Structure 1
Amino acid sequence: MSLLVLIGRILFSALFIGAAIGHLSAAKDTARYAASRAVPSPLLAVYASGVAMLAAGASVLLGAWGDLGSLVLVVFLVPTAFLMHAFWKETDAETKQHEMIHFNKDLALAGAALVFFAVFAYTADLGLTLTEPAFTLR
């Protein structure tokens, strides 16, 4: 099982590490988009979310308090779904569909992050990890 958990961690965290790099390398453009969604202090929000995604993704990947990293991803993803992808506010059908896909993707990823939290907190067979989980719920 440890090999499957490790492969899952690699595949899952790659999305967040890649997104974080994109966030941070194009921060001004990303902040303009965030501003269009009425995010307060958009440039600061972009940097904070980019760092959070990078740290949490690396945490899950490396198994360095991966349970804590998983929770950070949940805390990032749920508000992001509602703030950035409010499909119910869109009037254009194509834009509405696009935002609904992203909204559902963010909620599904939040669910997967909760599963990773449980895996880290409840399972001893985690594959290669740098630390023990921050929470032990066994």
Structure 2
Amino acid sequence: MDVLVLIGRILFVLLFTVSAVGHLTKTKAMAGYTASRGVPMATAATLLSGFVMLVGAISVGVGLWADIGALALAAFCFSAAVLMHGFWGEKEPQARQMEQVNFFKDTALGGAALILFAFFAFAGHELGLMVTGPLLSIS
């Protein structure tokens, strides 16, 4: 089971790792899109979101306080869904559909991150292939 959990963790964080690298290396372009969505301080928000994704992905991927990393990824996902993919404000049908898909993708990933948080906080001390156990505990 430990190997399956490790494989799942790695597969889960790949998206966040690639996205974080994009946020941190293509900040100007990403911040332009962020600003176009009405997010204030777009450059700072882009850098912060890249940092949160990278730290969360590393935490979950290597198992270093993975519960906290999962919460960070959930916070990012839910924030991105609301701030970046407000499909309810789109007038053009194709743009509305695209934003709706991205909104629900981010919401689903946030839900998965919450499940991981609960899993790590409940069973983290008993999982192998982790650097540390959870910082928080659910009994």
* Partner Cα distance (2:88, 2:129) in 1: 42
Matches for 1:106-121 after TM superposition, within 5 Å? 106-121=106-121
2:6 is the alignment partner of 1:9: no
Matches for 1:6-85 after TM superposition, within 5 Å? 6-85=6-85
SS of the residue corresponding to residue 79 of structure 1 reads helix
- 1:127 Cα deviation from its structure 2 partner: 3.2
Say which structure, 1 or 2, has more relative contact order (CA 8 Å, 6+ apart): 1
| Identity, % of aligned positions | 47
Name the amino acid aligned to 1:29: A
- 1:21 Cα deviation from its structure 2 partner: 0.3
- 1:126 Cα deviation from its structure 2 partner: 2.5
Q: Deviations over 1:66-117 (max 9, x none)?
A: 0000001111111210110000111111111110010000000000001110
Q: Deviations over 1:18-76 (max 9, x none)?
A: 11001111100000000001101000000000001000000000000000000011111
TM-score, structure 2 as length reference: 0.96
* Partner Cα distance (1:120, 1:2) in 2: 12
Runs of 4+ in 1 over 4 A off after TM superposition: none
Is there any run of 5+ residues in structure 2 with no aligned partner, and where? none
Equivalent residue pairs, number: 138
Greater CA drift, 55-64 or 124-133: 124-133
Name the amino acid aligned to 1:122: F
- 1:4 Cα deviation from its structure 2 partner: 1.5
Matches for 1:76-115 after TM superposition, within 5 Å? 76-115=76-115
* Partner Cα distance (1:77, 1:10) in 2: 17
* Partner Cα distance (2:51, 2:103) in 1: 21
TM-score, structure 1 as length reference: 0.96
Root-mean-square deviation (CA), in Å? Answer: 0.9
Greater CA drift, 73-82 or 27-36: 73-82
Contact 1:86/1:103 (CA < 8 Å) preserved in 2?
Answer: yes
